[in-house]
Structure 1
Amino acid sequence: MHRTMFDTPILKTLLRWGSIAFLKLAGWKSVGSIPPDLKKCVMIAAPHTSNWDLPFMLMIAFVLRAKIYWMGKEQIFKPPFRGLMMWMGGIPVDRSKANNMVQASVDAINSNEQLFLIVPPEGTRAKVTYWKTGFYHIAHNAGVPVLMGFLDYPNKAGGIAGVFHTTGDIDADMQAIQAIYAPMSGKKTGQ
């Protein structure tokens, strides 16, 4: 995978301390932790309702010392911001094409010694009734757990809600995962 701000010497330390300070001043708390032996996972970040989710997610990642990569729509990777977004851990996704992102993601996980790949389960910032299942198929096919990241704006909390191991029963697993997120709310109310 490409180099990011999470593996840039000196700067990653400064960004971590800056993230800790900003979140504390803003009244936010980091909740949960990443198991120390976890090297690969699909991380979901929900609920996803605002453009503010990205900076808060990145700050929480620095606090938790997680070197993450995240998927985002191709449009936010247009010049002159492409290099910056890639350095921030972004991976552009062209949603207008059927390009087998699930298999490409599985291959990326399998070919790296360590990879935390964030996939937003809603697939959009708009309110959705059903989550997309791409994250589930990536995790299950790669044989890695789902790390349940969250941002809960009303409680000013973000972090890790747990680790989920897929069973292959997608309906039951999706219900169990969504139940964990049910009490959490995004920045935009009603989402």
Structure 2
Amino acid sequence: MQAQDVQATSQQRALVDPGPVPGLEVVLMPPSGPLVPKGGSRLAAWCLKALGWRNDFPGLPDPRGLFVVYPHTSNWDFPMGLLYKWSHGLPFRFWIKDSATRLPVIGPWIRWVGGVAINRKAAHGVVEQTIEEMRRADFFWLVVAPEGTRSYTNGWRTGFYHLWRAADCPLGLAYIDYAHKQIGVQHYVRCSGDMEADFAALARYYEGRTGHHPEKAAPVRPYERTRSRDAEQP
């Protein structure tokens, strides 16, 4: 997707409400208004509305950036995320375990909708490769579920943080909140470089957001490996 394929309208600008995110620098929309991809699916938007979900999207502050999505506790998160992506015509990419992309029929489809295969046992270098790809592209937004699994884990994988800090790009704070039936993003923030402080701010921001299985949501803090055979995941 080219940068010129996005546009800003007065209607989208009216939706922008950056608001404060205590502890993090909020990324404001450009003076010309947010970037809004063309070609959103009315059918996907209708499906979300028919299911009773509020669909939040203020536009994008930059042609390149990163999203974290939290909580991620259910297989239902994937189709809900796709409906959201399609409803706004967002050509987002997303990290997904490489085994999923090798499945017959489903694997090629996952890559077609934006899946980027990640080898969890050899994740080193993924951040650097992603940064290079981001810098080469006219438009590049990547979605990451930092828990790295739908099961309970003791924190967030830190690959997204290293990418966020190194790329110096906006981070969209996305959510799929089943308790309030809200999906989307409202705020974009900058990395301070202080991981402990940034995670504390993210934890405060996401307080009250509820996954499909609340008991499986990881605490918002850096993941701690408890077994030597655990491989660091992005």
Of residues 72, 78, 81, the one that matches 1:57 is 81
Contact 1:50-1:188 at 8 Å conserved across structures: yes
Contact 1:34-1:64 at 8 Å conserved across structures: no
Q: How many corresponding residue pairs?
A: 179
> CA–CA distance in 1 between the matches of 2:202 and 2:186?
10
> CA–CA distance in 2 between the matches of 1:164 and 1:173?
10
> CA–CA distance in 1 between the matches of 2:195 and 2:68?
16
Q: TM-score w.r.t. structure 1 length?
A: 0.87
Kindly state the Cα deviation for residue 55 of structure 1 after the two structures are TM-superposed. 1.2
Are 1:114 and 2:156 an aligned pair?
Answer: no
Instruction: Report 1:31-46 matches (<5 A).
Output: 31-35=56-60, 37-46=61-70
Q: Following superposition, which runs of at least 4 residues in structure 1 exceed 3 angstroms of deviation?
A: none
Q: Which residue of 2 aligns with 1:124?
A: 149
Task: Give the counterpart letter for 1:188 in structure 2.
Answer: H
Contact 2:69-2:173 at 8 Å conserved across structures: yes
CA RMSD between the two structures: 1.8
Q: Which residue of 2 aligns with 1:16?
A: 41
For residues 16-39 of structure 1, the C-alpha deviation after alignment (integer angstroms, 9 at most, x for no partner) is 11211111111111124123x421
List gaps (5 residues or longer) in structure 1: 2-11
Q: Which residue of 1 aligns with 2:24?
A: none
Kindly state the Cα deviation for residue 81 of structure 1 after the two structures are TM-superposed. 1.7
> CA–CA distance in 1 between the matches of 2:124 and 2:155?
22
Instruction: Report 1:1-191 matches (<5 A).
Output: 13=39, 16-35=41-60, 37-78=61-102, 79-190=104-215, 191=217
For residues 66-117 of structure 1, the C-alpha deviation after alignment (integer angstroms, 9 at most, x for no partner) is 2200111112112222211111111111112243211111111111111110
SS in 2 for 1:59: helix
> CA–CA distance in 2 between the matches of 1:121 and 1:100?
17
Contact 2:43-2:87 at 8 Å conserved across structures: no
> Which structure dedicates a bigger proportion of its chain to helix?
1
> CA–CA distance in 1 between the matches of 2:176 and 2:126?
25
List gaps (5 residues or longer) in structure 2: 2-37, 218-234
> CA–CA distance in 2 between the matches of 1:172 and 1:80?
43
> CA–CA distance in 1 between the matches of 2:160 and 2:172?
11
SS in 2 for 1:144: coil
For residues 42-65 of structure 1, the C-alpha deviation after alignment (integer angstroms, 9 at most, x for no partner) is 111111111111111121123334
SS in 1 for 2:209: coil
Task: Give the counterpart letter for 1:63 in structure 2.
Answer: S
Identity of aligned residues (%): 27
SS in 1 for 2:214: coil
Q: Which residue of 2 aligns with 1:7?
A: none
Task: Give the counterpart letter for 2:54 in structure 1.
Answer: K
